[in-house]
C-alpha cells in the first residue's frame, strides 16, 4: 500500500503517493517491476500521473541491446493527468488531461537550424523522467516534466479525445516527419514494407498525400487491419511478391518511394531493389547500429536516394496534434493489448515478440486510478 501525502501545489489537490511502481531497466534484457519514489518537482515543472503509455520499438531495442546506462525508466508515448504543479506554472491546472513529449530540442543550435532535431545536444538532456535519466518514464505511475518541456512540449487533451488516442501523438509525429521528408506527390506509388502499427500509420499518412499505396506483410491478420484503414492494395509477402504488384502499377518502373517499416536488415536490399531509378528508400525501423551490404551502384548509377528518419519534429507538432485530435484516423484502434502497470514486464515481453495478432501494446497505470476514483 502506497502512503499518500497531499500535493501542496494548488487548491483542489490530488493525493500524491510517496512511492509508485515502475518498470526499471537495469541493463541488457533486464527490466524489473520495482517500487520507487514518486519524483519531486521544482519551479516551472509538472508532476503528471500516467494513464496510458505505448510501448515503442525503440524502447524495446534499448532494453534488448543494453545500449543505455542503467538504471532508467523508459516509455515515451505518454498521456495522463496533471497531479501537481511547481511554482510559476500558470498554463495548466491540477486535473488537466495532457500528452507529454519526452524531449524537445533547443531550436537554435547547428542541428536545429538544419532541422535535424533529434541530433540537438539539448534534446536528450531535457524531458520527462520518472526518476534517473530523462528517458521518458511512462512505464511508471508518475513522471516529472522538466520546465523546458512544460513550456514547449505539453499538450492539453480535449474532453472528447481519449487518453489512448492522445498517446499516439508522439509516434504519429515521427511517422509524419518521415512522410514529409519523402515529399510524396499524388501521382506517385509508395510501397510500405511491414504492417505493424507503425507501418499502418506510415501507410495511412502516405495515402493522405494522394499517392497510391501498396502495403506488404507476412501476416494476413495485419493486412486485414491495414485494410480497415483504407489501405486496400495489400500483398501477403508470404505467398506473393510485393515488387511484382508495384511493377504492375508503374509500367515496370518500380515504386517512387519505398518505406521499410520493419527492423529486419535483410529487407534493406529488397527495399532498394523495389524502388525505381531515381526513387527514394526510407529506412524507418533500422535503429540498431550494424553493418549491412548494399549495392552502391543503386545509389550512384540508378540514382536512388537512401533516407533515414528518427524521432519527432517540433516543426510538425501543431499539425500532428490537430490530426490526432480530429479523429480523422482512429489510431487507438491499433491497440491490441492493454496491461496494468503491475504487469509492465509481461507487456514488454509480449511487445518484444510480436505475433500475428499483436499490434500496439500499451501499459495503463490509469486502469487503477480510474477504478479508485
CATH architecture under which domain 173-308 falls: 3-Layer(aba) Sandwich (3.40)
Distance CA 338, CA 350 (A): 11
Helix (H, G, I), strand (E, B) or coil at 262: coil
The pTM score is 0.95
Confidence at residue 290, expressed as pLDDT on a 0 to 100 scale = 86
Confidence at residue 302, expressed as pLDDT on a 0 to 100 scale = 97
* In 28-104, beta strands by DSSP E: 30-37, 46-54, 77-85, 97-100
Confidence at residue 371, expressed as pLDDT on a 0 to 100 scale = 78
Nearest one of 48, 111, 51, 57 to 84, comparing CA atoms: 48
Distance CA 278, CA 265 (A): 22
Name the residue ranges covered by the structural domains of the chain.
4-161+327-371, 173-308
- Integer angstrom CA distances of residue 278 from 89, 273, 303, 323: 51, 12, 5, 31
CB count within 10 Å of CB 290 equals: 6
**Which residue has 524502388 as its cell numbers?**
275
- Residue 50, strand partner residues: 80
Confidence at residue 13, expressed as pLDDT on a 0 to 100 scale = 57
CATH T-level fold of 4-161+327-371? Quinone Oxidoreductase; Chain A, domain 1 (3.90.180)
Distance CA 222, CA 359 (A): 8
pLDDT tens, position by position, 170-214: 999 999 999 999 999 999 999 999 999 999 999 999 999 999 999
Confirm whether 4-161+327-371 and 173-308 share one CATH topology: no
* In 131-269, beta strands by DSSP E: 142-145, 154-156, 189-193, 212-217, 234-236, 255-260
The set of cell numbers assigned to 31 is 527490466
Residues 6+ apart with CB under 8 A from 16: 4, 5, 6, 7, 38, 47, 83, 84, 142
Confidence at residue 167, expressed as pLDDT on a 0 to 100 scale = 98
Confidence at residue 264, expressed as pLDDT on a 0 to 100 scale = 81
Confidence at residue 314, expressed as pLDDT on a 0 to 100 scale = 94
First-to-final CA distance of the chain: 16
Confidence at residue 124, expressed as pLDDT on a 0 to 100 scale = 85
Q: Classify residue 333 by its DSSP letter.
A: G
Nearest one of 341, 337, 364, 13 to 163, comparing CA atoms: 364
The answer to whether 84 and 16 have CB atoms below 8 angstroms apart is yes
pLDDT tens for each residue of the chain, 373 residues long: 333 434 443 434 578 999 999 999 999 999 999 999 999 999 999 999 999 999 999 999 999 999 999 999 999 999 999 999 999 999 999 999 999 999 999 999 999 999 999 999 999 899 999 999 999 999 999 999 999 999 999 999 999 999 999 999 999 999 999 999 999 999 999 999 999 999 999 999 999 999 999 999 999 999 999 999 999 999 999 999 999 999 999 999 999 999 999 988 899 999 999 999 999 999 999 887 888 889 999 999 999 999 999 999 999 999 999 999 999 999 999 999 999 999 999 999 999 998 888 999 999 999 888 877 7
Confidence at residue 247, expressed as pLDDT on a 0 to 100 scale = 97
pLDDT tens, position by position, 235-294: 999 999 999 999 999 999 999 999 999 988 899 999 999 999 999 999 999 887 888 889
Amino acid at each position: 500500500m502506497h502512503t499518500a501525502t497531499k500535493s501542496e501545489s494548488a487548491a483542489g489537490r490530488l493525493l500524491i503517493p510517496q512511492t509508485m511502481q515502475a518498470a526499471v531497466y537495469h541493463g541488457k534484457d533486464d527490466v524489473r517491476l520495482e517500487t520507487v519514489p514518486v519524483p519531486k518537482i521544482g519551479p516551472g515543472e509538472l508532476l503528471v500521473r500516467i494513464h496510458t503509455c505505448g510501448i515503442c520499438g525503440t524502447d524495446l531495442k534499448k532494453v534488448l541491446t543494453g545500449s543505455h546506462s542503467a538504471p532508467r525508466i523508459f516509455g515515451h508515448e505518454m498521456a495522463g493527468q496533471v497531479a501537481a504543479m511547481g511554482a510559476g506554472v500558470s498554463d495548466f491546472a491540477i486535473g488537466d488531461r495532457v500528452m507529454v513529449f519526452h524531449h524537445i530540442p533547443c531550436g537554435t543550435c547547428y542541428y536545429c537550424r538544419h532541422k535535424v532535431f533529434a541530433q540537438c545536444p539539448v534534446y536528450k538532456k531535457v524531458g520527462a523522467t520518472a526518476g534517473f535519466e530523462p528517458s521518458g518514464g511512462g512505464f511508471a505511475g508518475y513522471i516529472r516534466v522538466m520546465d523546458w518541456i512544460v513550456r514547449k512540449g505539453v499538450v492539453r487533451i480535449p474532453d472528447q479525445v481519449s487518453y489512448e488516442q492522445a498517446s499516439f501523438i508522439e509516434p504519429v509525429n515521427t511517422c509524419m516527419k518521415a512522410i514529409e521528408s519523402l515529399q510524396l506527390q499524388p501521382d506517385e506509388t509508395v510501397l510500405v514494407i511491414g504492417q505493424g502499427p507503425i507501418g499502418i500509420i506510415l501507410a495511412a499518412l502516405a495515402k493522405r498525400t494522394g499517392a497510391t499505396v501498396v502495403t506488404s506483410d507476412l501476416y494476413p491478420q495485419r493486412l486485414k487491419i491495414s485494410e480497415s484503414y483504407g489501405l486496400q492494395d495489400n500483398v501477403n509477402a508470404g505467398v506473393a511478391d510485393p515488387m511484382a504488384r508495384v511493377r504492375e502499377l508503374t509500367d515496370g518502373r518500380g515504386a517512387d518511394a519505398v518505406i521499410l517499416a520493419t527492423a529486419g536488415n535483410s529487407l534493406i536490399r529488397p527495399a532498394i531493389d523495389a524502388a525505381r531509378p531515381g526513387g527514394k528508400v526510407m529506412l524507418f525501423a533500422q535503429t540498431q547500429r550494424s553493418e549491412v551490404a548494399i549495392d552502391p551502384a543503386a545509389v550512384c548509377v540508378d540514382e536512388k536516394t537512401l533516407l533515414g528518419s528518427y524521432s519527432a519534429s517540433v516543426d510538425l507538432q501543431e499539425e500532428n496534434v490537430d490530426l490526432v485530435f480530429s479523429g480523422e484516423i482512429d489510431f487507438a484502434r491499433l491497440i491490441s493489448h492493454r496491461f496494468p502497470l503491475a504487469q509492465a514486464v509481461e507487456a514488454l515481453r509480449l511487445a518484444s515478440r510480436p505475433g500475428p495478432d499483436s499490434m500496439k501494446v500499451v501499459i495503463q497505470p490509469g486502469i487503477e486510478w480510474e477504478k479508485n476514483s
